[in-house]
Amino acid sequence: MDCDVLSRYLDLYLDGELAIEERSEVEAHVRTCGACRAVVTAEARFRAVLRQQLLSVRAPGSLREQVRERLAARRRPVAMAWMPPLAYAAAVAAVAVLGYVVIATYPKAPDPVAGAVAAHVAASGPEVSGGRDQVESFLRTHAPFSYRLPLQDGEGIRLVGARVTRLNGVPAVVYQYDAGGRRFTVAQYQPPEGVDEVPPHMDHQDGYTVATYPDRGLVQTLVGDLPDGEVSRIVPAVWTR
């Protein structure tokens, strides 16, 4: 290899784009030729300076913060994504204090959840009306799976009926409760295949507060025109039982 040939491969050599044989040829020449060695060394040094100087340019802290905030918003439940961070933090704190940890986010409501909201809104006549005894006697013959009453009566909450239905194709029992004159429903269904544990999750849809959480191997979606705090109060009751 002579100087002219080396000069053609200077960039490739320093960029690490030469094959091993070519690389050793360049190195053999550089060892014996002072002029080429000087150019290679000087160019390598200059590149190091350039790299060092320009790598010191960093994204501004404000940009990093904004991107991080986007990520955080995406982790939040859809309805909460619009809350300012402080309001969100307050909501999470309020919920966490009650022992109800919000973990999950959903790209959109899973089918049964959307179905639970529709079932709550439609309020077609319950298949059974009445308290715990009537509901249990009805469900023993009609429930599509091994049901469990989601909430105990008490603290202003009263079971008033239930029906068996499908929520967007998922077999479910929808329980109806009365909370001081306001009605809310709890849809109960089996977790999707391959999902062991559904993370508790609170959301808002169509003006309703929607809380989805696991309970003794089943999934429950509470839907009601209730304040978040009220829902949080009701849900841990299930949680701690």
- Binding of residue 83 to another protein (CB under 8 A): no
Residues that contact another protein, how many (by CB under 8 A): 58
Q: In angstroms, give the least distance from the CB of 4 to another protein.
A: 8
Specify the DSSP class assigned to residue 225: S
Q: Measured in whole angstroms, how far is the alpha carbon of residue 58 from the centre of its chain?
A: 30
User: Where in 127-166 is the site for another protein (CB under 8 A)?
Assistant: none
Q: In angstroms, give the least distance from the CB of 189 to another protein.
A: 11
- Binding of residue 71 to another protein (CB under 8 A): yes
Cα distances from 174 to residues 12, 113, 119, 121, 134, in angstroms, run: 70, 12, 8, 12, 14
**Structure tokens, 140:** 């023993």
User: Which of these ranges, 61-69, 134-142, 154-162, 228-236, lies near another protein under the rule CB under 8 A?
Assistant: 61-69
Q: In angstroms, give the least distance from the CB of 69 to another protein.
A: 10
Instruction: Compute the distance between CA of residue 206 and CA of residue 191 in angstroms, rounded to an integer.
Output: 24
- Binding of residue 65 to another protein (CB under 8 A): no
CA angle 239, 125, 136 (to 5 degrees): 45
Select from 24, 28, 31, 35 the one that contacts another protein (CB under 8 A): 35
- Binding of residue 54 to another protein (CB under 8 A): yes
Q: What are phi and psi of 64, to 5 degrees?
A: -60, -45
In the bound state with another protein, the residue whose beta carbon lies nearer, of 12 and 143, is: 12
User: Which residues have a Cβ under 8 Å from the Cβ of 142 and sit 6 or more positions away?
Assistant: 127, 164
Tokens 């989601």 correspond to what residue?
Answer: 150
Contact 208, 120 (CB under 8 A): yes
Select from 168, 190, 228, 233 the one that contacts another protein (CB under 8 A): 168
- Binding of residue 51 to another protein (CB under 8 A): yes
CA contacts within 13 A on the Cβ side of 28: 9
Q: In angstroms, give the least distance from the CB of 116 to another protein.
A: 14
In the bound state with another protein, the residue whose beta carbon lies nearer, of 57 and 86, is: 57
Instruction: Compute the distance between CA of residue 66 and CA of residue 52 in angstroms, rounded to an integer.
Output: 27
Q: In angstroms, give the least distance from the CB of 155 to another protein.
A: 29
In the bound state with another protein, the residue whose beta carbon lies nearer, of 105 and 134, is: 105
Rg of the chain taking only CA atoms, in angstroms: 32
- Binding of residue 16 to another protein (CB under 8 A): yes
| SS3 call for 24 | helix
Binding site for another protein (CB under 8 A): 4-5, 7-12, 15-19, 22, 25, 35, 38-39, 42-43, 45-47, 49-51, 53-60, 62-64, 66-68, 70-71, 74-75, 103-107, 110-111, 168-170, 192, 195, 198-199
